[in-house]
Amino acid sequence: MGKYRIAVVVGSLRRESFNRKLADAIVKLAPPELAFTRLEIGDLPLYNQDDDANQAEPVRRLKGELKAAQGVLFVTPEYNRSIPGVLKNAIDHASRPHGQSAWAGKPAGVLGVSPGATGTSMAQQHLRNVLATLDMPTMGQPEAFIQAKDGLFDAAGNLGAASKPFLQGWMDRYVAWVKKHAD
Ligand SMILES: Cc1cc2nc3c(=O)[nH]c(=O)nc-3n(C[C@H](O)[C@H](O)[C@H](O)COP(=O)(O)O)c2cc1C
């Protein structure tokens, strides 16, 4: 049970975030050997390189949680055709000081949901660019560009019938990806 610890990073701080709901729903499709923990990124200060030698407590907490994880699951909205600033802020914090990144080598999966028809595709492509320089092996397929429509979630927050088979397939591939790349 919980052999692989997976850090879940949601790129929205919104109370009723679709992306947080998607993260909470999809982790229920994983086998018990994966244990998921959603990381808090809303209390991080704005990144300032002057602080690299003395990182704030929430930054040290974030880096500790990431270092203890065998994989990372990013679930992000698209803001102005890219990733939200809060997500980039968290990524930048945990990538520093230079040479002490907490991201390196962690297998990653990328998902996102938007009311828009393109389903966060541009944000995800931007994120993939960032994850490449962070040296994170990132699952290429299936891509999951999810549109928020009625029925995506049921009343209990589980995935609705129309999306569940696709997202179950996504999770099955992600589990295999983590097992292949986890140290
Ligand atoms: C600053 C801002 C920029 C946005 N830009 C986009 C965008 O480029 N593409 C898109 O599909 N939706 C865009 N949206 C709408 C978001 O997809 C929508 O607010 C979504 O619910 C945010 O995700 P969340 O529910 O997880 O918070 C934007 C929203 C905000 C607040």
Residue nearest atom 1 in ligand 1 by C-alpha distance = 79
Alpha-helical regions (H) of the chain: 18-26, 57-67, 85-94, 121-133, 164-181
CA of 110 to the centre of ligand 1 (A): 16
Dihedral sign for Cα atoms in the order 90, 3, 183, 125: negative
pLDDT digits 0-9 by tens, 55-90: 999 999 999 999 999 999 999 999 999 999 999 999
Report which protein residue has its CA nearest ligand 1's atom 28: 79
Res 99: pLDDT: 96
Residues 126-165 pLDDT 10s:
999 999 999 999 999 999 999 999 999 999 999 999 999 9
Question: Given pLDDT bands bounded at 50, 70 and 90, which one contains residue 1?
Answer: low
- 114 CA: nearest ligand 1 atom: 17
Which amino acid residue places its CA nearest to atom 3 of ligand 1?
79
State residue 110's pLDDT score: 98
Nearest residue CA, atom 22 of ligand 1? Answer: 77
pLDDT of residue 168: 98
- Is 34:7 a contact under the CB 8 Å cutoff? no
Ligand 1, residues at Cβ distance < 6 Å: 12, 14, 17-19, 77-81, 114-116
